[in-house]
Structure 1
Amino acid sequence: MGNLANDHAEASQRSPYDARERAGDPAEESAKRAAKEPAEGRQATGAIGLTVDQTLTLPALTGARIVAGSAGRHRVVERVNVMEVPDILPWVKPKELLLTTGYPLRHSPTPLAGLIADLDRAGLSAIAIKPHRYLGDLPPELLRAADELGFPVIELPERVAFDDILTEVLSDVLDRQAAVLARADRVHRALAQIALEGGGLAELTAELARILGGPVLVTTPDGRVLAEHGADAVHDAPCFDTEAGAQTPGHPADRIVQSPVQRTAPHRRLRTESEPAGLTTHHGHQHALIPIVAGRVDHGRLVAFAGPRPFDAADVAALERAATVAALAVVKELAVAAVEDKYRADFLRDLLTGRLEDPQSAVAHAVTLGWDLEPVPNPADKQHRRKLVVLVAELDPGQSVLPASQHALRPARERFAAAWQNVVAARDRSAPVAGFNQEVVVVLKSGDDPDPLVRSLIAEVSGTGGGGRRTFSTGVSRPVSAVDDLPAAYEEARRAVRMGRRLNGPGSVVHFDALGVYRLLSLIPDPAELRDFARQTLRGLANDGDAEAEDLRTTLEVLLDTNLNVAEAARRLHFHYNTLRYRIGKIERLVGPFMERPDLRLDLSVALRILHMRGL
């Protein structure tokens, strides 16, 4: 309430309705405006109170009527304040009903239009005035300002007592809040019981959809659907991504992929990046979005769409409780998945590093894990013979991750491994996939040319598969025909990753059999040895930052690429023939007679390729 002890004379020394003096922080004012109930777009999440219309039905307000600003009659009242001083603004709060006798304003009736604008900016719900004793009739400019802003002005009868209004409004609000909390508690208990009995996200969404009477979804932080119930009815809503293939059946979005119900998710992605928490309405579709947070880690979003009736504060409170239970379910399934993944990863690491004494028995053990390591399903069927290919995908260093909210995301390596597991499972659930620290290893079954399959998987992981927040490099081994050859294939894929990043930078995709001489260079563990060889072979041409040396190196590369065809090299470099002959002489004075010595040309070619490698 207003501070009744404030001195009236002191207050009158200031300009109480100077909007410039009380404008405050624009962001704060914007937030207060957002707290009002709009017809479309974002709505308040916790509006537990009476509307202005409902307030007027209370016995204490019998005879009160809205004389201006009736467009705001649906604003929510959550508290009541009394204006006894002119400078009331420092003590008001959003969603208040402000009561006044007009006494504080009796000596300055003209600025009342400015007062209405200030109260509207502060997010108040309405002002109720007893005008006749001190103000007489309400000024027309006040009524016009209230109508323009949709800010309700209520005229109170003389017999109305403020203490009766305070008691009845606050009692009604408290009763409503108690009812909301009671309903939220019932929902929480029902969902917690499902979780305690072993139910997952699919069962939680089904029960919540039954309680609320509309579709319910659980998504990852970036909007990929984990579980849903009844979402087919709303998949065309504007809040879903319209990009084709944003989600495919059998292609769930995170590690939680075991439930068959989850694989029936709609083929869309919720645009969580543009959908704020709380109530939102798009073209008649009202939905509530609540973050799912556990241990300050952002696990996703709980989204519920309104059914035949619109959501109210009780529904939002119930959803907030449900989000807590959903967080428990997510954490539980992630914990189970983490144990399973570690066991699988340990087995696959032992197999790929050659620690298993009998690799053939590993094939039978892999079957118990749901993996198929048999490269040839039917040796007699030569038309459908397939080989094993090891793919290693490694997160590129130095790539930042922007959190989807103020809460932290799951560790990047966990989300990266989950993305690969889901994308590969959509193609072949029997293909081994495991995360080893910063890298993910996949054993694919493919024909002689695995490149189309590899490119397709990488595109899915980078796009809607969930691995696109950070760039990653990929290395692919040569196809092998036996499980015994998997350790060598794994080492090839790892070398391809390292060499691909050195040659092409982050995001490279390299097949080991396409490395050429770089296969040999990748075997040299000491980068200093490679640098020394390049400097000793190229001599003055190896100087970094020397424009002439770099220009001559380019000339040397073109000459070597054209097999010393001077005329062809001059054409590619756009030089005159004699100019190129002159440059050849300069190069030979620096590195030796390479035009006559094949061995020197080989050394120069290798040295130039070393210079193309990054990070040396």
Structure 2
Amino acid sequence: MLTVKNFLQLTPFKTFQLVAGANGIENEITGVNILDNPDASDWLSAGELLITSGYFFSENAEIQKRFIQRFKEINCSAICIKPHIYLKGIPESMRRLADELALPIIEIPYGIAFSKIMNIVMAEISGRMNELNQASLDIHSQFFEISLHGGGMKKIASGLAKMVHNPVVLVDADWSVAAVNDDEQPLIQGTIKKTGDTLTFPIQTITDLPTDFERIQKPITRAIFFEEKEYPCVIMPVYFDTIHYGFILVYQVERPLTDLDYVALENGSMAFALEQMRLFEIERTENRIRRDFFDQLLSGQIKDLDALSAYDTTIDPTLNYTVLILSIQTIGHEADSLMKKKQTEDRLMKSLLSSLTTYAANRFPHLHLFSRKNQLVMLLGTDPKLSSLKTHNEISDTAERIRMYLEQQGQSEREIFCTIGSTLPILELSQSFEEAKKVIQLLEDDTKEEKIYFFNDFYFDSFLVDSISKEQGKKFYTHYLNTLLAYDKDNKTSFTPTLKAYLAHHLNIATTSRALFIHRNTLLYRIDKIKGLLPVDLEQEKNTFALQLALKLYELYD
């Protein structure tokens, strides 16, 4: 084993001077690295001897302090600095901090080449590689056993925590906690955030993470704060074959990580990815089985209760059922590639389906769900003896509770709205499903100011769309509204929405003016202008209906 003390005793380095951090002289050297780029600190490893000219330290005391602390968090063995080129001398503030942290600072004489130091150190530590390789095989075998016997995330976290002698947290790609090694660990309890039934690591509190750092496939060290103290946290991205599975977090509470601990971390990340793949495959298979059954049910292929009973399902045929479709649109970044957007959407739907299944299990015993593309399709059972009003209220309440729950899950921004078909006996659910889909179609170009939509509120719209072609609809509304629409466009007036409000309030001046928040005289002026622009008498009943229909067709087909 090569320590800092042994390094200084080597003949070529007799003239090297230990200027600070003498209490760390027994630190083990497991590698060597040259560092003259401040952005490269995330690529350092535990136990490395750092060689630098001090170029990026400049003369800034704050920068010097930050990097000395970072090197200690990474558990580097020592820092060899060649001053007099960029750094006039090793500042006293750096020496004091190095003494405090027991991080040796060694001054390199001017004439010594960095390459000579690297070659000699690597030759000295080469004997260590056989020992490290054997230890790596042992660690690999332990994780292989955990994966082989389906140990799950909890065992991976516990096994890794024992190897690295520090608390471990496993999180998915959205920073939702998948497992921790110790629920009672104060630092874990103090830093993990609970939202509903989901635990998340508040990554937004760490502000200096590299862009897309999950792709670097190498652990980085950052500080986390708890009870006014700072703790180094090693963050290991789990990223294999272009797929990002999540992160492993190691809180360095007990001791800094060694090079062998980083070997354990790499093997742990592989076990994490394999377990995630296994869980995804199980979930995908279960969802496909559910989806195949529901596809047959919702397409009307299951014709009678005997055919229904042949399936292993918890659906109660004595209940009425309603189809609810939750459409979920992720709000991504325009710069994201199609592949990245697709991966983000797939992860989101898997996560939401899993968490919603858990959430609904005890709260909504007659709710059945599956996912398709960016939708969650739900079948909600209700007592057929309930009145129409009570059934509507129960469905509305359930839809709102589920929608709010989903909006609280994870970190990504998303838009969620729910469309709801009619409540029908189980064998007639294909109609309810078609109705819920029809509402989505009718809402396609709307801003969706509401979040829950019942088909009953769109029955007239649906009838018009199914009965009147787009060409016929445009011809109809153009006949009645063309002059009015053209006037609004040319003069930037709002007579068309005024007409809509006037008709909706049964030609009542008082209620219409209140609804539009305008003075009565202003409304009278507008109505007078509108009458002059319409091709029919506004006061005749048959014409008011025709105008209302024209306005509706204009909304549908414009």
Q: Partner of 2:355: helix, strand, or coil?
A: helix
Counterpart check, 1:514 vs 2:468:
no
Q: 1:278 aligns with which of 213, 220, 225?
A: 220
Give the count of matched residue pairs.
498
| Superposed counterparts of 1:391-540, under 5 Å | 391-396=324-329, 400=333, 410=343, 412-413=345-346, 415-428=348-361, 431-446=367-382, 448=391, 449=393, 450-464=395-409, 468-480=412-424, 482-505=425-448, 508-515=451-458, 517-524=460-467, 526-540=469-483
Counterpart check, 1:226 vs 2:187:
no
Distance in 2 between the 1:342 and 1:161 partners?
A: 63
| Superposed counterparts of 1:321-400, under 5 Å | 321-359=267-305, 361-363=307-309, 365-367=311-313, 371-374=314-317, 376=319, 387-396=320-329, 400=333
Alignment CA distance shift 1:331-1:562 (3 Å):
same
Distance in 2 between the 1:228 and 1:66 partners?
A: 41
Provide TM-score, normalisation by structure 2: 0.73
Counterpart check, 1:192 vs 2:149:
no
Q: Partner of 1:432: helix, strand, or coil?
A: strand
Q: 1:154 aligns with which of 101, 107, 116?
A: 107
Q: Which runs of 5+ in 1 are unaligned?
A: 1-48, 82-92, 100-111, 130-134, 249-266, 377-386
Write the letter of the residue equivalent to 2:149: E
Q: Partner of 2:466: helix, strand, or coil?
A: coil
Are the aligned partners of 2:160 and 2:264 in contact in 1 as well (CA < 8 Å)? Answer: no
Distance in 1 between the 2:272 and 2:55 partners?
A: 48
Q: What residue is the counterpart of 2:161 in the other structure? A: 209
* Structure possessing the higher radius of gyration over alpha carbons: 1
Write the letter of the residue equivalent to 2:378: V
Alignment CA distance shift 1:485-1:176 (3 Å):
same
Q: What residue is the counterpart of 2:266 in the other structure? A: 320
Q: Partner of 1:345: helix, strand, or coil?
A: helix
Q: What residue is the counterpart of 2:212 in the other structure? A: none
Write the letter of the residue equivalent to 1:462: E
Q: Deviations over 1:302-334 (max 9, x none)?
A: 223346333222212211121112212211222
Distance in 1 between the 2:439 and 2:445 partners?
A: 10
Alignment CA distance shift 1:440-1:360 (3 Å):
farther
Counterpart check, 1:608 vs 2:551:
yes
Q: What residue is the counterpart of 1:564 in the other structure? A: 507
Write the letter of the residue equivalent to 1:422: S
Are the aligned partners of 1:287 and 1:304 in contact in 2 as well (CA < 8 Å)? Answer: yes
Distance in 2 between the 1:226 and 1:114 partners?
A: 42
Q: What residue is the counterpart of 2:89 in the other structure? A: 142
Counterpart check, 1:170 vs 2:122:
yes
Are the aligned partners of 1:366 and 1:372 in contact in 2 as well (CA < 8 Å)? Answer: no
Distance in 1 between the 2:323 and 2:474 partners?
A: 30
Q: 2:237 aligns with which of 291, 295, 298?
A: 291
**Shift in Å, 1:601:** 1.1
Q: Deviations over 1:179-222 (max 9, x none)?
A: 44443332222112322334433332232233333433322111
**Shift in Å, 1:354:** 0.5
Q: Partner of 2:423: helix, strand, or coil?
A: coil
**Shift in Å, 1:441:** 0.8
Q: What residue is the counterpart of 1:246 in the other structure? A: 195
**Shift in Å, 1:557:** 1.8
Farther-moved stretch of structure 1 (221-230 vs 57-66): 57-66
Distance in 2 between the 1:113 and 1:465 partners?
A: 42
Q: Partner of 1:142: helix, strand, or coil?
A: coil
Q: Deviations over 1:306-365 (max 9, x none)?
A: 463332222122111211122122112222322222122111011011012325532551
Are the aligned partners of 2:169 and 2:181 in contact in 1 as well (CA < 8 Å)? Answer: yes
Are the aligned partners of 2:183 and 2:189 in contact in 1 as well (CA < 8 Å)? Answer: no
**Shift in Å, 1:223:** 1.0
**Shift in Å, 1:578:** 5.7
Q: What residue is the counterpart of 1:108 in the other structure? A: none
Distance in 2 between the 1:288 and 1:402 partners?
A: 29
State, as a whole percentage, how many aligned pairs show the same letter.
17
Alignment CA distance shift 1:522-1:223 (3 Å):
farther
Write the letter of the residue equivalent to 2:429: L
**Shift in Å, 1:164:** 10
Q: Partner of 2:348: helix, strand, or coil?
A: helix
Are the aligned partners of 2:330 and 2:413 in contact in 1 as well (CA < 8 Å)? Answer: no
Distance in 2 between the 1:469 and 1:421 partners?
A: 18
Alignment CA distance shift 1:70-1:205 (3 Å):
closer
Q: 1:305 aligns with which of 237, 251, 257?
A: 251
Alignment CA distance shift 1:528-1:215 (3 Å):
farther
Alignment CA distance shift 1:196-1:571 (3 Å):
closer
Q: Partner of 2:192: helix, strand, or coil?
A: coil
Distance in 1 between the 2:433 and 2:328 partners?
A: 17
Q: Partner of 1:410: helix, strand, or coil?
A: helix
Provide TM-score, normalisation by structure 1: 0.67
Alignment CA distance shift 1:497-1:69 (3 Å):
same
Q: What residue is the counterpart of 1:11 in the other structure? A: none
